[in-house]
Amino acid sequence: MSIRFGLVESSVAVLPFTQPALWVALGLPCLLGVLGAWLRPQRTWPILLAGLPLAASGIVLLMIVEQHGLQRWQLEWGKLTVQLRLNGLSVLLLLLTQGLGLVAALYTPGELRHADPAQRRLERWLWPLLGILVGSLSLIWVAADLLTLYVALELMGLSAVGMLLLPGKVESLVAGIRYLLLALVGSLSYLLGVALILGHWGRLDLAGLVQVVEAGPVAWTAAALLGAGLALKAALFPLHAWLAPVHGNAWVPVSALHAALVIKASLFILLQLWSVLIPDSLFAAQLVAWLGVIAIFWGGGLAWRAVELKSLVAYSTVAQMGYLMVVFPLLLGPGIPASVQGLAWQGFWLYLVGHALAKAAMFLAAGNLILATGNTTLQGLTGASRQLPLSLLAFGVASVSLIGLPPSAGFTAKWLLLRAMVIQAQWAWVAALLLGTLLSAAYVFRVFRYSFVETAPHYAFRALPPWLDGLALGLALASLLLGLFAYGPLTLLQGSR
Amino acid sequence: MSATPPLFDLLLALGLVALALGCLFDRHLVRACSVFVGFALSMALAWWQLGAPWLALAEFSLGAGLTGCSLFYALGVLPPGSPLPSRRDWFREPFRQAAIRAVLALAWMGMIGAALRHSVPVMAYSPMQQPLLLAGVAMSALGLGAFALHRHLLRRLLAFNVLGSGVFLLLAGLTGTMAHAQALIITGLGVAWLGTLLGAMLIRRLYHLQGAKALISDNESIRQKRQGP
C-alpha cells in the first residue's frame, strides 16, 4: 500500500520544472486570495483569467508525472526537513482541487450578489480564506512527512472553519463553534499520535517510517490516536454529527468545497498513515468497514427524512463516506492479493473523485434552486420543474453519479469495488453497497417527487444568471463523463505504484 | 533529563496540575481565565526547565499573552467598556449525561496512559523521574474530561487549551526537544491561539446576537430532552 502512495525511492531525479510548478500551485492561490480581498471581483471573467496560470501549473505537473512517474524530494530548512512527493494520485487530487476551487470562486460573485446584505459584512474575507484552503489542500496531497501534513491540516481546518462562519447567522455561528472545538480536539489527538511515532522511531518522514515501523502496541496506539483525530475531521460515522448543520448554514460554494474536498483530505491522510503504520492489521480495517456499513444506512435514512434540501445533500455525504470506509478491508489487511488491492485502490480513488465532483455539483444546484425559489425546504421546490429546468437538470445529472447509475464515475467506481469484493468473497460488503445504492436512489428521488408536481400554482421564482446553472451543470457533466473516460485517471493511479 | 534536582520539576508539575484544576473547575469565569494566564506562565517555565528557550518564549507570547487576551476579550473584560456577558457559569448538566461523558473521556485517557507506560521505558520503571511527563498525562486527562463535561463555550475553550498544553508536554516528554518536536509544538501553540481567538470572536458575536443563553453549547438538545416525558 505504501508503494501505491509513492512512499518509495524514486528512480528519476527531480526535474527542473517540478519545483517551480509546485510553488505556483501552492503559493498562487494564497496570492490570488489576497488580491481578491483587495479587489472584490464582482464578475466572473477576472476570476477565470486569474485562475488560468493556476490551472497551467497543475497541467505542467500532470505532464511531468505522466512522462516520468513518481518524483520525490526533500527541502532542508535549518534543522527541519520537508518531504514532498508527486505521483499520479497527488496530481489527480491536485487537479481536482484546482478545478473545484476555481468553480467555487466563479460561483461566489453570483451567490454574494443575491445574499442578504446583513450577511455580506464579512464577504471580503472569503477570498483569502478560499486561497489558503486551496493552497493547503494542495500541500496535503503532496506532503510526505508528518510535520508538513500537520501544518497543512491545521491551515486547512482553520480556513475552512473561518469560511463556514462568514454568513454570521446565529445558526451558522453555533454550528461553526461546535465544528471549531471538535476540529481543534481532533488535531490534538493527531498531534499525540505523531508524538508517539516521533518518540519511538525518532523520525517523521513517511517513507522512512515505512522501513522501520513494526507492528506492536506503539503502532496500534498511534494509529488509533491519528485515526480518531482524522475521523473526527473527516466526519466518519459515528463522529459525523457536526457535519449537517455546518453544511446547511454556510454559503453554497463553501459547503460545496467543504463536502467535496476538506473532509476527503482527512480521509486521504488517514488511509495514507494507516497504510504506513498498520498495513497488516485486520481488526482496524474491519472496524472502519462495519462503521461504514452503519454510516451508509444511517446517513441514507437521515437524508431520506430530511426536510431541508441542503441537509439532504449533507446527510448524503455521511452515507457516501460510508462507501469509502467499506473499502478499507480490501486495502489494508494481511494477505490481500495484489490484483484485488489494485482494483480496490482504483475504485476507491475514482469513487472519491467522482463523488467530489457530483457532490459539489449537487450543492451548487441545490444552491441555485434555493436562490431561485427563496425557500430552503424540499416542499418549496413544488413546481420547480417548469421554471427551473436547468437547475433541476444539473441536480439530476449529479444524482446519477451519486447513486451510481451508468455511465457515471460513481457507477464505474462501484463496479471496480464490487469486482474486488466478489473476488475476495466479501458478501457482506457487496450487500451493503447494493442496498445502499437503492437507499440513495430513494432519497434523491424525493427531490424530484416534489419538483415535478404539475398541479402546483405558479410561484414567483427569481431569475438566475445562466452561468450559475452552467457551473453546476458543468461539474455534474464532468462527474458523468469521468465514468466514460475513466481510463486516463485509472492509468494515472496505477502508474503511481 | 535536566541536571537540576527533580525537586523543582516536581514542584512545577504539581503547580501546573493545581492551576489546571483551578482554571477548569472555577465557575467564576474571570478568575478562571486569570488562573489560565498563570498556568500558561508556568508552562513557559516548564519549557525553560526542559531546555527549550524558544518554546518558552512562544508559550509566553502566544500562550499567556495572546491567548489570555483572547479569553478576556471573549469575557468582555477587554477592551474596557465592552458589553459584559455573565461572568459566571451556573449551568448544571443532568448528572447522568455528565457522568457518562466524563467516564468516556477518562477511559480514553487511561488507554493512552497505558500505551505510554508501554512505549516509554522510563514511565514503567520510575515514573517519578519524569514529573513533567506525568503532569502532561494528568493535564490532558483533566482537559479532556472538562471538555466533555462543560457546556459553556468559554469553559470548553479553556479545557481545550489545557488539553493542548498537556499534549505538548507529553510530546516533549516523549521525544525530548529536538527540532521537529519544537516545530510541532510551536505550530500547535499557534493553532491553539488562532482557535481561541476565533472562538472568542464567535462567543462575542453570539452574545451580541442572542444573549447569554447562546453561550451554552448544545443547549437545544438538552432543552428538548428536559421537555420530554
- For the segment A391-402, the average pLDDT, to the nearest whole number, is 92
Look at residue A40 in the predicted model and tell me its pLDDT: 85
Q: Which of residues 192-211 of A touch B (CB under 8 A)?
A: 192, 194-196, 198-200, 202, 204
pLDDT of residue B5: 54
- Closest-CA residue in chain B for A151? B187
Between A and B, how many residue pairs show a Cβ–Cβ distance under 8 A?
Answer: 122
Residue A196 to residue B174, Cβ atoms within 8 A? yes
If you average pLDDT over each of A12-16, A252-256, A372-376, which comes out highest? A252-256
Task: Give the model's pLDDT for residue B120.
Answer: 66
Q: Please check the confidence at residue A474 and state whether its pLDDT lies above 90.
A: yes
Residues 58-97 of A with CB under 8 A from B: 78-80
Burial label for A455, CB within 10 Å (0-12, 13-18, 19+), is: exposed
Choose, out of A166, A180, A214, the residue to mutate when testing the contact with B (most B CBs < 10 Å): A180
Query: Which one has a higher pLDDT value, B69 or B81?
Result: B69
Q: In the prediction, which pLDDT does B90 show?
A: 67
For the residues A351-369, what does the mean pLDDT come to? 93
| B35 Cα distance to chain centroid | 11
Alpha-carbon gap: A22 to the closest alpha carbon of chain B (Å):
23
Separation in Å, CA of B118 to nearest CA in chain A: 8
List of chain A residues whose C-beta atoms are within 8 Å of the C-beta of residue B112: 192, 221, 225
CB atoms closer than 10 angstroms to residue B229: 2
**Whole-angstrom distance, CA of residue A144 vs CA of residue B212:** 45
Kindly determine whether residue A195 and residue B192, on different chains, have CB atoms separated by under 8 Å: no
Mean pLDDT lowest for which of A144-153, A196-205, A267-276, B218-227?
B218-227
Residue A430 touches partner B, C-beta closer than 8 Å: no
Q: Which positions in chain B touch A195 (Cβ < 8 Å)?
A: 167, 170-171, 174-175, 181, 184
Segment A242-273, tens digit of pLDDT: 888 888 888 899 999 999 999 999 999 999 99
CB A325 within 8 A of CB A237: yes
Q: What is the mean pLDDT of residues A492-497?
A: 68
Sequence spans of domains, chain B: 6-83+95-227
Question: DSSP string of A228-243?
Answer: HHHHHHHT-TTS-TTH
Decide if A131 touches B, using CB distance below 8 A. no
Say yes or no to pLDDT of B213 above 50: yes
Selecting from B167, B181, B187 the residue whose C-beta is nearest the C-beta of A198 gives B181
A158 touches chain B (CB under 8 A): yes
The residue to which cell 443575491 is assigned: A114
DSSP letters spanning A249-283: HS-HHHHHHIIIIIHHHHHHHHHHHHHHH-TT-HH
How far apart CA A405 and CA B1 sit, in angstroms, is: 62
The per-residue pLDDT for range A429-468, each reduced to its tens digit, is 999 999 999 999 999 998 888 888 877 776 777 878 888 8
Q: What is the pLDDT of residues B98-151, one digit of tens each?
A: 788 778 777 877 777 777 777 666 666 666 677 888 888 888 888 888 888 888
Over the stretch A414-428, which tens digit does the pLDDT of each residue have? 999 999 999 988 899
Q: Which residues on chain A are in Cβ contact (under 8 Å) with B168? A: 191
Binding-face residues of B in 164-223 toward A, CB within 8 A: 164, 167-168, 170-171, 174-175, 178-181, 183-184, 187-188, 191-192, 194-195, 198-199, 202-203, 205-206, 209-210, 214, 217-218
What per-residue confidence (pLDDT) applies to B185? 93
* Residues of chain B contacting A194 with CB distance shorter than 8 Å: 171, 184
- Largest Cα–Cα distance in chain A? 71
What pLDDT shows up at residue A12? Answer: 77
- Is pLDDT above 80 for B91? no
pLDDT, residue B177, reads 80
Q: Percentage helix, strand, coil, to 5, in chain B?
A: 80, 0, 20
